[in-house]
Each structure stands twice: as structure tokens, then as C-alpha cells.
Structure 1
Amino acid sequence: MEDRHTVMLDIAGEPTQAFFAVIDGHGGHAAGENGGAFAAGVLLKNRELYTTDVGDSKAVLSMKGNAITLTNNHHLTTREDELARIENSGGFLYFHNGVFRVNGSIDVSRAFGDIHLKDWIISEPEIMKLPLT
């Protein structure tokens, strides 16, 4: 199995700090050799949430019964800015059954690993900050 999660509470002995992450691997049994992963993480520090996202993993906050999406999606069908970035760097976008795929492979613009796509798929996360009141 290539999926993982982590929970770190009371970071550095501070009860106001915690970190949570989900890592969603792809590539099957060969993931450790040439696969990749998507990830979403949340850092709670002094009544502020910092979220990070690479790929199609999503972080959602439930506040008073309402779902608040904390991360951006990197699916190519929803991100024209990411499509343009990939095309401008020489990547080929294959559209099949309603889904764009980079060089005929994965359907996201950001991921860890996937060495064969590194000229177009970046691992830089998008980071957001949300004050908690």
C-alpha cells in the first residue's frame, strides 16, 4: 500500500501546535521505484491554520456544520493556469474521456516523484493561511 498519514500533536511541547498530513501514493507496487504521490497537510499554530497541497488531495475544515475547503485542486480540467504553465514548459496535454493528462500520464499538475514528468509536473505546494477566530 502506498498511502500514508501522520499526526503530530503538541509540537515542541506547545499544545497550540499540531500537524496533520495525508500522502496518497500512486504507481501501484512500483511506487517506490518510479511512482509518485499527492499530499495535503495542515499545520495549526497559535490559532492559525496553514494548509499545503500537492496534487488532488484535499483538506476540508468542518466549522459549525459547514465544510470549508482549505486547499486548491491541481486537476488539469479545473486549472487553466496550470494547463498554461505545463504547455509553456513544453509539456504535451492529452485529452481523453473528459480528462487532460500530462504526456498521456497523470491528470494533475503537481505531484511528488513521477521522475519521467519532472519537466512539467512540479512538486511545489500551494500554501494558504487561515486565521481561526
Structure 2
Amino acid sequence: MEDRFSAVVDVEGDVKQAFFGVFDGHGGAKAAEFAAGNLDKNILDEVARRDEEDIKDAVKHGYLNTDSQFLKEDVRGGSCCVTALIRKGNLVVSNTGDCRAVMSRGGVAEALTADHRPSREDEKNRIESTGGYVDLVHGTWRIQGSLAVSRGIGDSHLKQWVIAEPDTNVVRIKPDHELLILASDGLWDKVGNQEAVDIAHRLCIGVEKAEPLSACKKLVDLSVSRGSCDDISVMLIQLGRYV
């Protein structure tokens, strides 16, 4: 199991601020462990240095600083990441790699991230423009015939092409923003966005007692029942408490 997670609530003593993350390690768990233990602090340090409107830049540098620190450890492996910073009524979702964030908005699934894979035209062009190549290996597009994701923390041997810069999406939290699902690709390779929202919605919205843990377990079990042999991590955040 190379996945790790981070959940920090009551940031700076404020019940309306929190940080959540899912980290999918490859080539060992070291990069995922490092990201889970350091990314939140690095992002919050950068946020403290900037005006509120520079939140995307703060998150970007938090990711890049975490990557730089991990590379100095001289340890092999890497990690995909998806994170959610909740601050001052905003949901700030970022990702590198193929961990994904999906929100339930009135019961309708809305992906807040796009997977970074070598098969994406823009990612393929970026890699090839810097001297790398993307190849189809046993049905999967890979960088240098090796890695099946194009962004992440670590991966020192491919760092020229596997960048740590995240894509970030800032959303003002509204009353119809019900749930946020953060998960590694072990879930998303077998379970659709709307399907995941439907299962979580049934157990958490409009019921006498919400069961987010049961929803996470059901999603994991569904992916396994469909043949997933990958590590699977699922985190569910109830957004209503942050409106």
C-alpha cells in the first residue's frame, strides 16, 4: 500500500479552515509519506506570505517547495497528489497526476481536477518539447516507456518531464455544494464520477445520520469488485460545515 492521506482541521484555530489530501505513491511509499507530512505546511507558509487573491500562486509554490525538499532526500519514487484547502469560504482544489477531486453539486458530479497523463495532448506536447518521448506500452501511454502519469512529487530520474506544478481550481462554497470526494486512481479507473457521487449522496445527504465512512468503504468495495488491483484511497468531505 503506497497511498497516504492528510487531514488537518481547525487550521489556525478556525473551524472553517481545513486541508485535505490524498497521495498516491509509486516506486515505493516514501514520496507519498513526505507529501502527506509536508505539503500542507508548505502551502500554508506560502499563503501567509501573499495576498488572498494570490492563492493559486501560493499553492503552486507549496507544491514546488515540497518537491524540491523531497528531491534533496535522494530517495527513489514519486507521488501523485490531490489536495483541498478550505479557507475563507473558498474551496481551493489542486492536483498533480491522476488523483482526482469530484464534487457533488445538488447531486450532480462535477470534476474539479483533470488527470495529468502522458496521453493528454497538452502534456504529450510539453514532454516532447523538452526532449522526452511518450510511448504506448502494453496499452498504457508512458513517459520514456516508464511512468504512466506526467506530473507528481519526486521521480528524480524523470524530473525533466514529470513536473510538480499543480493545476488549481478555486470555487466559492455555496449551499448546493454538498460533498467533495478525493481519491486515488484505484477508484477512478473503475468507478465513474457520477456513480461515486450517487453512492456518497445516498448515504450522506437528506438522511437522519450521515455515514461518510460507509460511503468511502462502499466505493472501495465497488472498485475492488470490478477488478481493481491498485491501491485505493477515498476521502469524503462534507462541505456544508464550511459554507
Tell me the TM-score normalised to structure 1 length. 0.90
Bigger fraction of residues in strand:
1
Consecutive unaligned residues in structure 1, runs of 5 or more: none
Counterpart amino acid of residue 3 in structure 1: D
Secondary structure at 2:165 match in 1: coil
Q: Shift of residue 29 of structure 1? A: 6.8
* Corresponding residue number in structure 2 for 1:108: 149
Q: Check 1:62–1:92 CA distance in 2 against 1; reply closer, same or farther (3 A cut).
A: same
1:120 to 161, 185, 188: 161
- Is 1:44 aligned to 2:44, yes or no? no
Q: Check 1:56–1:29 CA distance in 2 against 1; reply closer, same or farther (3 A cut).
A: closer
* Corresponding residue number in structure 2 for 1:82: 123
Q: How far apart are the structure 2 equivalents of 1:100 and 1:30?
A: 24
Secondary structure at 2:100 match in 1: coil
Counterpart amino acid of residue 132 in structure 1: I
Q: Shift of residue 76 of structure 1? A: 2.0
Q: How far apart are the structure 2 equivalents of 1:120 and 1:73?
A: 16
Q: How far apart are the structure 1 equivalents of 2:153 and 2:82?
A: 12
* Corresponding residue number in structure 2 for 1:57: 99
Consecutive unaligned residues in structure 2, runs of 5 or more: 34-74, 175-243
Q: How far apart are the structure 1 equivalents of 2:7 and 2:162?
A: 27
1:3-59 per-position Cα deviation (integer Å, ceiling 9, x unaligned): 111111111011211110001101147878311110000011122110110100001
1:101-133 per-position Cα deviation (integer Å, ceiling 9, x unaligned): 110111111011111101111011111111122
Q: How far apart are the structure 2 equivalents of 1:117 and 1:94?
A: 15
Bigger fraction of residues in helix:
2
Counterpart amino acid of residue 82 in structure 1: E
Fraction of identical pairs, as percent: 42
Q: Shift of residue 97 of structure 1? A: 3.6
Would the aligned equivalents of 1:109 and 1:122 in 2 still touch at CA under 8 Å? yes
Aligned-pair Cα RMSD in Å: 1.8
* Corresponding residue number in structure 2 for 1:23: 23
For structure 1, which segment, 30-39 or 17-26, has the greater mean C-alpha deviation from structure 2 after superposition?
30-39
Counterpart amino acid of residue 84 in structure 2: V
* Corresponding residue number in structure 2 for 1:4: 4
Q: How far apart are the structure 2 equivalents of 1:29 and 1:19?
A: 21
* Corresponding residue number in structure 1 for 2:13: 13
Q: Check 1:30–1:129 CA distance in 2 against 1; reply closer, same or farther (3 A cut).
A: closer
Counterpart amino acid of residue 24 in structure 1: D
Secondary structure at 1:15 match in 2: coil
